Amino acid sequence: MLQELENKWETKANRPELEDGSQYHIRCRPGDVAKYVLLPGDPDRVPMMAEHWDEKREIASYREHVTYTGKVGGVDISACSTGAGGPSTASALEELAEVGADSFIRVGTCAALQENIAPGDLIICSGAVRYDGTSDQYVDPKYPAVANQEVVMALIEAAERLGVTYHVGIGYTSASFFCGQGRPGFNNYRQGFMDQIIKDAQQAGVVNFEMEAATVLTLSSLFKLRAGAVFSVVANRIKDQFSYQKSGVEQSIAVSTEAFKILHEWDELKKKSGKPYFYPSLLTNK
């Protein structure tokens, strides 16, 4: 069986894929995924997301990448888990784009960096501080990680429709869950600079810590794709609180799913009007 698999992957090293276009990491091929893709980190969250859809089917499961495709409200939608951190997230996003996806919403959990943001709230990411490490391999560090404005607006509209508590702001994407977010490492390992990470981020108005958004946002901008992110807050680092609330995770899934339904509506309006971008008065002119 192993030998059979190895023979299948005798392909070009520059961009490994099978003759049918199957991608090396996510094991999906053209036609397997929709243009709208949710990106959770946790593979177990993909079937959770699919429960919100009208139709669903499992496409692939390999390494940290589980992929489902289905329909919700008549809109084709997919979800593919990325694993934790930038490297596996970048591989998944590149390969999803290769097989036809062009709009992404990162859906995950985070720690708040402002006192007024409580566990269970949602944070909609408008941009991210690039300490993910991975995006530096693609472009100069001064290039911004900015969410697509249409995705941000759709997430805000979805949160309002569903009546959830949300905040909008710039996040901080770290390559490390512990030392990179100002936590001590194993055996209380510390460096002096770690003591300033939270203080400096809070003073700059940064709203949260997480580990993937900067990668998703930067690569999407570079590749002329659309992306945004929404997070369920599970901790407040200023108050030293940690409270994992399943209801908050469910709300982030519901909001991101609703946002793609909204984006699809706006995309149809753009086609009808011949406009390249969505703007609010398109809704009154339809």
Instruction: Classify residue 281: in a domain, yes or no.
Output: no
Question: Annotated catalytic, 95?
Answer: yes
Write out pLDDT tens, residues 115-155: 999 999 999 999 999 999 999 999 999 999 999 999 999 99
Given 25, 29, 106, 130, which residue is catalytic? 25
pLDDT at 8 over 80: no
Tokens of 106: 């990162």
- Rounded Cα–Cα distance for residues 16 and 14 (Å): 6
Owning domain of residue 249: 21-274
Which pairing describes strands 145-146 and 208-210: parallel, antiparallel, or unpaired? unpaired
105-116 pLDDT, tens digit each: 999 999 999 999
What local confidence, expressed as pLDDT, does residue 10 receive? Answer: 74
Q: What is the pLDDT of residue 1?
A: 33
The answer to the question of residue 108 being in a domain is yes
User: CA dist 204 to 95, 197, 208, 233, Å?
Assistant: 34, 11, 11, 19
Strand blocks (E) in 65-146: 65-72, 75-80, 103-112, 122-131, 145-146
Query: Which is more confidently placed, 261 or 26?
Result: 261
- Read off the CATH number of the domain in which 217 is found: 3.40.50.1580
* DSSP SS3 for 115: coil
Q: Where residue 5 falls among pLDDT bands split at 50, 70, 90?
A: low
Residues 34-45: tens digit of each pLDDT: 999 999 999 999
Q: Is 226 an annotated catalytic residue?
A: no
Q: What is the mean pLDDT of residues 14-20?
A: 82
Question: Among residues 27, 63, 161, 183, which one is catalytic?
Answer: 183
Closest C-alpha among 134, 50, 49, 34 to residue 91:
134
In a domain, 55, yes or no: yes
Residue 279 lies in a domain: no
Q: Is residue 283 part of a domain?
A: no
Active site residue 25: yes
In a domain, 284, yes or no: no
Banded pLDDT at 247 (limits 50, 70, 90): confident
Mean pLDDT (the chain, rounded):
93
Average pLDDT rounded to a whole number, residues 266-275: 94
In a domain, residue 232? The reply is yes
Which of 29, 45, 95, 130 is catalytic? The answer is: 95
Q: Which residue in the list 29, 226, 237, 264 is annotated as catalytic?
A: 237
Q: Is residue 224 part of a domain?
A: yes
How many helices (H) and strands (E) in the chain? 8, 11
Total domain count for the chain?
1
pTM value? 0.92
What's the confidence (pLDDT) of residue 7? Answer: 57
Can 63 be counted among the known catalytic residues? no
Residues 46-61: pLDDT tens digits? 999 999 999 999 999 9
> Which among 155, 177, 150 is positioned nearest to 167, based on CA atoms?
155
